Amino acid sequence: MIKQSIIENVLEAALSTGGDFSEVFIEDKYVNTMELQSGKIEKSISGRDFGIGIRIFSGLQCIYTYTTDFSEAGLINAAKRAALAIKGGANGTIHPLQKEIIQPIHTITQMPRTVEHARKVAVMRKANDIAKNYDERIKQVALRYIDEEQNVLIANSEGKFVEDTRVYSRLSIQATASDGIEMQTGFYGPGAHAGFEFIENLDLNHYAGESARIAVTMLEADECPSGKFPVIIDNEFGGVIFHEACGHGLEATSVAKNNSVFANRIGEKVAPDIVTYIDDGTLPNEWGSLNVDDEGEKTRKNILIEDGILKGYLIDKFNARRMDAEATGSSRRQSYRFNPTSRMTNTYIAPGESTPEEIIASTEHGIYAKYMGGGSVNPATGDYNFSVAEAYLVKNGKIDRAVRGATLIGNGAKTLQLVDMVGDNLAHGAGMCGSISGSLPVNVGQPMIRVSEITVGGTKGE
């Protein structure tokens, strides 16, 4: 991308006023997005974005800037301007850059940029037809296709020099059902750290059919009662609750400032013995996976909670200084425009020993949340509020009628302690996670679990 000698000069310029660490993040990204509605392509955008981020540490001070001027003079000027915010101290040492050879753990067989648009559109049209023809009450189908190729080069004053290519592909399907009075939607959005082969090999009958089935099912559903119930949360997208209400609380972004209910609690019992919570950026071709993080560190499997005991946090290089700890390969950013920080990759509850059938059969009365929707959480307290996209009543150990309008309300740390059954059917779901370093692809995952009690907000009353 840029000559090594220029990068070395930029790193040195960044330390010219007394910084003790400098870093350059170079990004060259290609993005292709298409949207199809009512069987027609409504939008098709392809673009390329190139830029450089420059970061400087001086003790516990962090300065970040970025530029799209990749001339040597422009880069050095940007580094020197950023360095003006650093005052005092001796200049840091620049170690010789040593290029690391990264062995990719994600097999890519069809780079999306080499695939003609017609093949991509053909997949979208097929998914549209499957969803539209599912039921006469499906009135609209909207699809969004995206592929992205991100080439990065990361170098720092400690001698780090690493390059990586990340390839992402995703197809999102939303179906809308109506009976002339009410409308309901269903959504499914499979994605992977993979090429177009992932899109072309998708089981569209499953994904498009599920989006339509959810919409029709919720159209026919009764109103959900409110109260406190045992709640069974299914696998795959069910993991979004613990991603939001617990996962963010285990990131150094909040832990280092003591803005987390999990801060300073390593070694404490925070969940039942049956709960192990993991973030693993090395899972082959999973949506949230990376070869290296955005500081150039290899991603790894980080066990955050093991058998109910808090074992660790997700830590980036800067917050490692605050915490007097080691970085965990968990630093991420949306693009060169963002200062990186600790973020999740593929976060999930490890499988347990109960079968889904056992969990349902042992529940006399409760709510079964098959698919979760969106929600909000206060990361400092863990208080959350999440809608359920598809829910059912459970009666006498059997799944009963569908209900709509269900909302789960609680506190992440407390809910974690109330998990009393963990299934053996782990599955991951692709999503996007927003935080101070931008919007990033992440997986949420879990097997089916049961929480002994959650407050359920419903439209029917108790």
Task: Report, as an integer, the average pLDDT of 196-210.
Answer: 98
- pLDDT number for residue 84: 94
The CATH T-level fold of domain 4-32+43-99 is PmbA/TldD fold (3.30.2290)
Q: Return the residue matching tokens 């973030």.
A: 279
Residue 223 three-state SS? strand
| Residue 4 CB partners (closer than 8 Å, separation 6+) | 97, 155, 161
What local confidence, expressed as pLDDT, does residue 461 receive? 58
pTM over 0.75: yes
As a whole-number percent, the residues of the chain with pLDDT over 70 amount to 99
Fold of 112-151+162-219: PmbA/TldD fold (3.30.2290)
Distance CA(339)–CA(324), nearest Å, equals 20
* Predicted confidence (pLDDT) per residue in 120-178, tens digit: 999 999 999 999 999 999 999 999 999 999 999 999 999 999 999 999 999 999 999 99
pLDDT above 70: residue 330: yes
pLDDT band at 360 (very low <50, low <70, confident <90, very high): very high
376 pLDDT band, cuts 50/70/90, is confident
Return the H-helix or E-strand segment holding 378.
none
The token pair that represents 462 in the structure block: 């108790």
Whether residue 313 contacts residue 304, with contact meaning beta carbons closer than 8 Å, is answered with yes
- For residue 287, CA distances in Å to 40, 193, 278 come to 27, 5, 16
Q: List pLDDT tens digits, range 241-267.
A: 999 889 999 999 999 999 999 999 999
Between CA 195 and CA 252 the distance in angstroms is 32
Nearby residues of 373 by Cβ (< 8 Å), 6 or more positions away: 386, 387, 388, 389
Residues of the chain with CATH 3.30.2290.10: 4-32+43-99, 112-151+162-219
In the predicted structure, residue 83 carries a pLDDT above the cut 80? yes
Residue with tokens 């109960």: 354
Question: Is the pLDDT score of 462 beyond 80?
Answer: no
pLDDT digits (tens, 9 = 90+) for 386-416: 999 999 999 999 999 999 999 999 999 999 9
Question: What tokens does 58 get?
Answer: 């001086």
